[in-house]
A = this chain, B = another copy of it.
Amino acid sequence: MERARRPGGRSARVRAAVHQAVVDLLREEDWDELSLPRVAELSGVHQATLYRRWGTVNDLINDVVTEQLAQGSPVPDTGTLRGDLEAYAVNLADGVAGPLGTLFLRAAMVGSRGPDGDTYMIERAADLQAMLERAAARGERPPTLLELMEVVIAPLYYHAFFFNRPIGHDHARALVDRLLALQAANRR
């Protein structure tokens, strides 16, 4: 894999300015107003640079999402299964609202892929899997990854997607309750 040949100062500044402009545009304007010329205008970076470095809007979005996922919102480790799940759910609820949520949904829709060719979802899934295995190691009885996705994560996205209004923390925690209740019921 080809490493970036000159990652230093200027390129980094340009990248940051462009990423910032993307988020800003998404915050104010409509979904499909996002174009490279528009980003160029707002960021002060020349169009040609955008086309050369990123090529298309989707690739740019891809880059932004990758960066955000890499640094922001790590999977929590609170010491209890319930604690981890609630922290994660509440965090995700906040995340899918706001401009980054939109970005993320759009990225997913176009079938964006991370550097290793995997879907973002799959990369994240590994982290969640690890969280569940920590719980199992402590002697708790965690749900499967599929159950977690279906009972907690899917509803969060669903609300954001179809009704795009923020999901309350209480509501997010209620989803976790439901998941754990199912676990309790299954054990019998």
> In chain A between 32 and 91, which residues have their CB closer than 8 angstroms to a CB of chain B?
32, 58
| Choice from B151, B157, B178 contacting A161 with Cβ under 8 Å | B157
Q: A1 at the A/B interface (Cβ < 8 Å)? A: no
Q: Which of B111, B154, B185 contacts A181 (CB 8 A)?
A: B185
B contact residues around A106 at 8 Å (CB): 109
Chain B residues with CB under 8 Å of A151's CB are: 151, 155, 178
Copies of this chain, complex-wide, total 2
Q: Which of A111, A154, A185 has the most B CB atoms < 10 Å from its CB? A: A154
Closest chain B CB from A116 CB (angstroms): 17
Q: Digit string of A164-185 for contact with B (CB within 8 Å is 1, else 0)?
A: 1000000000010010011001
Q: Bound complex: CA of A181 vs CA of B157, how far in Å?
A: 23
Q: What is the total number of residues of chain A having a CB less than 8 Å from a CB of chain B?
A: 28
Q: In whole angstroms, how far apart are the Cα atoms of A178 and B151 in the complex?
A: 10
Whether the Cβ atoms of A108 and B162 lie closer than 8 Å is yes
Nearest to A154 among chain B residues (CB) is B158
Assess whether B31 is in contact with A163, with CB atoms less than 8 Å apart: no
Q: Are A150 and B161 in contact (CB under 8 A)?
A: no
Contact of A111 among B108, B157, B158, B164 (CB under 8 A): B164
Contacts of A14 in B (CB 8 A): none
Within A122-162, the residues touching B (CB, 8 Å) are 149-151, 153-155, 157-158, 161-162
Cβ-closest chain B residue relative to A157: B158
- Nearest opposing residue in chain B for A120, CB measure: B162
